[in-house]
């Protein structure tokens, strides 16, 4: 690995402020041959959507048009990153149902790029994108630089998520019994009701009773949502 890469990766690892971390990331991706870098992170809860944090060096006109035309509602890249952590190249076929978005993107110099996301246990989702005006991104180049992009996106996600959580209202923590905590912890590890019953030496019916109690206490609709809430408030 070249010395400049090691140096910038080390700087990024040591960064404690979001702005400086983004600036280091931008320098790094520009040295890798890209013009633009974007990072955004959003809470999945509707009432917190205004807490989206967004860093990018896209043209001002593009950012303005993206908002005015509500491109976020039809952006296939954004839709992909909300449901998958696999990287996706900005290819014309991806925008087959939204050609107007692709055309507007190209007109602003955002011809070639790729995006990828990070989803964490608290429900936060971030998207990291690299883009440039010329030279398509080959599969080899994607593979060669993917490790750097993954490292950058996780570093930024960690810093920004920490700041975002500080701004969100603190969720109240309902009282959970020792048994409920045990069951939620096992469920978070992917254990089924049957597996929980075998581990805890109680009936599957009792497991389901406690799960329903947790669902009621957290005010959610299913076990997965209860587990997510429990993780988010630090109950497990």
- CA 138 to centroid of chain Cα atoms: 24
pLDDT tens digits, one per residue of 181-207? 999 999 988 899 999 999 999 999 999
Closest of 37, 44, 110, 43 to residue 71, by C-alpha: 110
Reported confidence tier of residue 47, pLDDT bands at 50, 70, 90: very low
pLDDT at 139 over 70: yes
Looking at per-residue confidence, does 159 or 132 come out higher?
132
Question: What are the start-end ranges of the H helices in the chain?
Answer: 3-14, 18-31, 60-68, 76-83, 99-107, 139-167, 178-188, 193-200, 204-218, 223-232
pLDDT tens digits, one per residue of 14-27? 998 989 999 999 99
- Give the separation between CA 118 and CA 141, rounded to whole angstroms: 21
Instruction: Supply the DSSP symbol for 177.
Output: -
Q: What is the pLDDT of residue 49?
A: 44
What domains are there in the chain, each with its CATH number? 3-167 (3.30.450.80), 178-233 (1.10.10.10)
Q: What is the pLDDT of residue 78?
A: 95
Cα dihedral sign for 38, 26, 29, 15?
Answer: negative
Lowest-pLDDT range of 85-89, 112-116, 187-191, 203-207: 187-191
For residue 95, the tally of other CB atoms under 10 A from its CB is 19
Reported confidence tier of residue 170, pLDDT bands at 50, 70, 90: low
pLDDT at 50 over 50: no
Q: What is the mean pLDDT of residues 78-95?
A: 95
Q: What is the pLDDT of residue 166?
A: 62
Lowest-pLDDT range of 24-38, 47-61, 91-105, 210-224: 47-61
Tokens 């590890």 found at: 189
Q: What is the mean pLDDT of residues 1-26?
A: 87
Q: What is the pLDDT of residue 164?
A: 64
């Amino acid at each position: 690995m070249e010395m400049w890469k090691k140096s910038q990766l080390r700087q990024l690892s040591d960064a404690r402020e979001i702005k400086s971390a983004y600036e280091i990331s931008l320098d790094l991706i520009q040295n890798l041959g890209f013009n633009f870098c974007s990072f955004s992170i959003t809470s999945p809860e509707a009432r917190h959507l205004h807490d989206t944090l967004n860093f990018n060096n896209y043209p001002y006109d593009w950012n303005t048009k993206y908002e005015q035309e509500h491109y976020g509602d039809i952006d296939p890249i954004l839709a992909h990153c909300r449901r998958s952590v696999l990287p996706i190249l900005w290819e014309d076929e991806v925008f087959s149902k939204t050609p107007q978005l692709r055309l507007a993107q190209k007109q602003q110099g955002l011809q070639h790029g790729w995006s990828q996301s990070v989803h964490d246990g608290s429900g936060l989702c971030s998207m990291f994108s690299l883009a440039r005006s010329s030279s398509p991104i080959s599969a080899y180049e994607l593979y060669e630089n993917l490790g750097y992009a993954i490292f950058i996106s996780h570093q930024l996600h960690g810093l920004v998520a920490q700041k975002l959580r500080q701004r969100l209202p603190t969720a109240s923590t309902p009282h959970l019994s020792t048994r409920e905590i045990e069951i939620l912890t096992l469920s978070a590890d992917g254990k089924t009701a049957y597996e929980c019953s075998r581990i805890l030496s109680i009936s599957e019916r009792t497991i389901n009773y406690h799960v329903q109690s947790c669902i009621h206490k957290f005010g959610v609709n299913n076990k997965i949502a209860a587990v997510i809430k429990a993780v988010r408030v630090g109950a497990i």
